[in-house]
Amino acid sequence: MNRIVLMISAFLLVGITEKAWAECESGKKLCGTICIANNKQCWQCGDNCVAYTSDIPGSLGAYTLNISGTGSMNNYSSTSDVPWYNYRNYVKSINISEGITNIGDNAFNNYKFVNSTIEIPSTVTTIGNNAFRDMGGVTGLTIPDSVTSIGDHAFASMVRVTGALEIPPSVTNIGAGAFYNMTGVTDLTIPDSVTSIGSSAFNGTKITSATIPDSVTNLGLGAFASTKVTSLAIPDSLTSINDRLFSYAPLNELIIPDSWGDEGFIISDSLFQNTCFAKLQRPSGCDNPQIICQGDKTKCQSALSKFLSDGNACISNSESCIISDIPIKSVDELTDKTDEQKAALCTGGRTDGIYKWENGSCQRTSDATSCNATSKYYFNSAANNGNGLCQRLPTTQSACSGNDIEWDTINSKCINKNAITPTEENTVGGDDEYDELSGENTVGETSELQPDGSFKVYKDGEFVGYKGKRSYTPAEAAEVVGENNAIILYYR
């Protein structure tokens, strides 16, 4: 009998915090480990998460919805499943505490009367689908650099958030419609950590320019549709282009890589519908549109030939036709650009050295070493009359043939036989401590190559962040400014 009592007592003590044993003062009740007023509501929102309401001073019948605890919030399949949804018309602000790691699906969907800034704590790594959707009264948004994934329609229709939208450099995935119809957003920064941008991700924003980093390998349909973008550069990291990418936008300058003409590259038949390049149903704001090609213009022309009046796509769908005399220019043919501007258009912001501005011309590198040091290209030694040419790796087994490439049957992809693989650990040389006078390097730091080509940096065995880019030949080193302005060299 005594043994049973002891076991029960031990069970009750496990997981009970000191606060749970304390008595709340008169008129208050316990919500998890927090004392709240008896007339306020409390809900469980995760294994270690509670949600509760609190009064807003001076605002009768208005509440702050507080999310407190640690770990992940629950995901809810619909708004009707959210325990606090019936309070949505009375909540004017939302406070999420440090310690929460995931904002659940639909957690605050349709909270139209919240009229303050949403500040997401620095412990959050993922933002669920529809998490802050249809919150038309929100006036500001802060996304910390701990967030790696933004769910579908996470911030859709936050129409009162204005100005610049800064996506932190930790984000790798931007879901479909993540920032859809944020009509007050005029500027956008997409970091080179992002690998996937979902369909309609920025549709309906008022951004006037956008740079898609070459880290992006998936770009959803209509991602920049109905924006105010006038110039757009498509990175060379894509293997296909989806429908209506920039439909209903006043896009007059489209910059494309010559990889569009590579075997296996897929261009949607509906790409040019309702664009400034279309023969029919063009949007307003079109003014002398032109297409600029990085690299071999003849390859770009070949890739776009199906959109001309006698092309197969045009025959089946006249809305897909582009204007027959639309200018398709190489970078060096641009008379209205300076050499500096041409050089920038040629590289497209890329750092892997595939495209280079040399001798007044934009061309793919002829250097075998720098070509073989990339993950998507190989140096075809038989091409260009035996002089060799840097080419994209084929995506199909039938096209993967030759002396320099072979088909990997295990991973179902074409691989470069001569690929140059960076070393997995890179040591930083220099003095024991950074010397501001001599500018010597910091020691004690090592770096570990990541799949995306960045380096995971450790100092004294502790992770300190991501730095560098996989863009240098073995004989070179990436210079990155570290803490205390030390120069860190990542040798490959």
Q: Which of 184, 141, 187, 176 is nearest to 159 (CA)?
A: 184
pLDDT at 8: 31
pLDDT of residue 460: 54
**Predicted pLDDT at 457:** 55
441 in a structural domain:
yes
Three-state DSSP string of the chain: CHHHHHHHHHHHHCCCCHHHHCCCCCCEEEECCEEEECCCCEEEEECCEEEEEEEECCEEEEEEEEEEECEECCCCCCHHHCCCHHHCCCEEEEEECCCEEEECCCCCCCCCCCCCEEECCCCCCEECCCCCCCCCCCCEEECCCCCCEECCCCCCCCCCCCEEEECCCCCCEECCCCCCCCCCEEEEECCCCCCEECCCCCCCCCCCEEECCCCCCEECCCCCCCCCCCEEECCCCCCEECCCCCCCCCCCEEEEEHHHHCCCCEECCCCCCCCCCECCCCCCCCCCCEEEEECCHHHHHHHHHHHCCCCHHHHHCHHHCECCCCCEEEHHHCCCCCHHHHHHHHHCCCCCCCEEEECCEEEECCCHHHHHCCCCEEEECCCCCCCCEEEECCCCCCCCCCCCEEEECCCCEEEECCCCCCCCEEECCCECCCCCCCCCCECCEEEEECCCCCEEEEECCEEEEEECCCCCCCCCEEEEECHHHCEEEEEC
Q: What is the mean pLDDT of each run of 10 residues along the chain (492 residues)?
A: 34 35 75 83 92 80 90 95 93 95 97 95 97 95 96 97 93 97 94 93 94 88 95 85 92 90 84 92 91 88 88 81 89 87 77 75 79 83 83 81 90 87 41 31 46 52 49 36 42 34
Q: Indicate if 465 and 380 belong to the same structural domain.
A: no
Residue 457 domain flag: yes
Distances (CA, A) of 419 to 44, 81, 368: 53, 52, 10
Residue whose C-alpha is closest to residue 217's, from 190, 196, 200, 241 = 196
Last residue of a domain, one of 64, 99, 120: 120
Say if 262 falls within a structural domain.
no
Domain boundary among 120, 152, 172: 120
The pLDDT assigned to 316 comes to 78
pLDDT of 272 reads 92
pTM of the predicted protein model: 0.75
Provide the residue range defining the domain that includes 116. Answer: 16-120
Residues 22 and 88 grouped into a single domain? yes
Whether 148 contacts 125, CB under 8 Å: yes
Residue 370, domain member (yes or no): yes
Dihedrals φ, ψ of 18, to 5°?
-60, -35
- Strands 59-69 and 91-96 turn out to be parallel
Q: 374 and 444, same structural domain?
A: no
For residue 74, what are the contacts with CB-CB under 8 A and spacing of at least 6?
Answer: 45, 46, 49, 104
* Nearest of 395, 435, 429 to residue 414 by alpha carbon: 395
What total of structural domains would you count in the chain?
Answer: 3
Distance CA 483, CA 430 (A): 14
Q: Which two tokens stand for residue 69?
A: 């605890």
The last residue of one of the domains, among 64, 88, 120, is: 120
Q: How far, in whole angstroms, is CA 456 from its chain's centroid?
A: 18
407 plus 449 within the same structural domain: no
126 located within any domain: no
Q: Is residue 315 part of a domain?
A: no
Q: Would residue 56 count as lying in a domain?
A: yes
Burial string for 380-410 (b: 16+ CB within 10 Å, else e) reads beeeeeeebbbbbbbbeeeebebebbebeee
- Output the pLDDT for position 461: 55
Dig out the tokens for 318 from the structure: 């006249």
Of residues 239, 250, 334, the one with CA closest to residue 292: 334
Residue 201 resides in a domain: no
- Residues 34 and 109 grouped into a single domain: yes
pLDDT digits (tens, 9 = 90+) for 268-301: 989 999 999 998 889 999 999 999 998 788 989 9
Tell me the per-residue pLDDT of 43-61, one tens digit each, with 9 for 90 and over: 999 999 999 998 887 676 7
Q: Based on the domain organization, do 405 and 441 belong to the same domain?
A: no
Is the distance from CB of 234 to CB of 223 less than 8 angstroms? no
pLDDT at 57: 74
